[in-house]
Chain A
Amino acid sequence: AQSVSQHNHHVILSEAASLELGCNYSYGGTVNLFWYVQYPGQHLQLLLKYFSGDPLVKGIKGFEAEFIKSKFSFNLRKPSVQWSDTAEYFCAVNSGGYQKVTFGTGTKLQVIP
């Protein structure tokens, strides 16, 4: 069964600091990987996705993520965060030709002005 781990539950950063949120998945086959963001009081929105090709994926709002197959990881990064990035971030995976998407438990990011 596929599963996703997000080890950072709550991250607090000052504006302009760099961000890296960890995501590890457990599945040995072909995977599709996603990062979603949930701003306070809103629904989840897609930030970026990886299906194949270049393992460095660029998303909206300056976010990027790198797929490292050997480490089963798909960490999210942003060089310089803004107060408006305060939100909860979810890593998600589907795999094995199976449409079910499994989400991690989420990481709450708080950016202090």
Chain B
Amino acid sequence: DAGVIQSPRHEVTEMGQEVTLRCKLISGHNSLFWYRQTMMRGLELLIYFNNNVPIDDSGMPEDRFSAKMPNASFSTLKIQPSEPRDSAVYFCASSLGDRGNPYNSPLHFGNGTRLTVT
């Protein structure tokens, strides 16, 4: 099991540029979560998908952020245009609920993408 794979590990870009973060879920998992971690705000849920469908995107900061799941195993988080305040570590996590309780499955996190916007 390769785990959740995120790319790139580090991204440095200039303000105004488009940034795309990528995530490959663990095979067979049906839920995908994007989190952002900063010193000031801790770990914030941005959006999560279940069976490729966005369920809750209330954490997405503004229209500059968008996320997609083009298939069951892959997701992208795009920031366009990027701003210095977007600098953070972005984590992707996946999970699979069991039949008895689809909501009790723990999250499996990727190694994160450290984004720096200058």
Chain A residues close to B by CB (< 8 Å): 32, 34, 36, 42-46, 49, 51, 90, 92, 94, 97-106
The residue on A at minimum CB distance from B97 is A99
Asked if B111 contacts A101 (CB within 8 A), the reply is no
The 3 closest A-B pairs by CB, nearest first: A105-B42, A43-B109, A103-B43
**Any chain A CB within 8 A of the CB of B12?**
no
Nearest-neighbour CB distance to chain B for A98, whole angstroms, equals 7
Partner of B103 from A44, A45, A90, A98 at Cβ < 8 Å:
A98
Asked if A100 contacts B48 (CB within 8 A), the reply is yes
CA distance A13 to B86 in the complex (A): 34
Count of inter-chain pairs, beta carbons less than 8 A: 56
Nearest-neighbour CB distance to chain B for A38, whole angstroms, equals 9
Nearest-neighbour CB distance to chain A for B116, whole angstroms, equals 16
Partner of A43 from B33, B48, B103, B110 at Cβ < 8 Å:
B110
Q: How many residues of B contact A (CB 8 A)?
A: 25
Return the CB mask of B27-45 against A: 1 if under 8 Å, else 0.
0000101010000001101
Partner of A32 from B50, B55, B103 at Cβ < 8 Å:
B103
Nearest-neighbour CB distance to chain B for A45, whole angstroms, equals 7
The residue on B at minimum CB distance from A49 is B106
Nearest-neighbour CB distance to chain A for B39, whole angstroms, equals 10
CA distance A42 to B107 in the complex (A): 15
Asked if B111 contacts A102 (CB within 8 A), the reply is no
Chain A residues with CB below 8 A from B42, complex form = 103-106
| B residues 85-118 touching A (CB-CB < 8 Å) | 91, 93, 95, 97, 101-104, 106-112
Nearest-neighbour CB distance to chain A for B2, whole angstroms, equals 14
Asked if A100 contacts B56 (CB within 8 A), the reply is yes
Asked if B55 contacts A99 (CB within 8 A), the reply is yes
CA distance A101 to B61 in the complex (A): 18
Chain A residues with CB below 8 A from B33, complex form = 101
Partner of A42 from B43, B56, B111 at Cβ < 8 Å:
B111
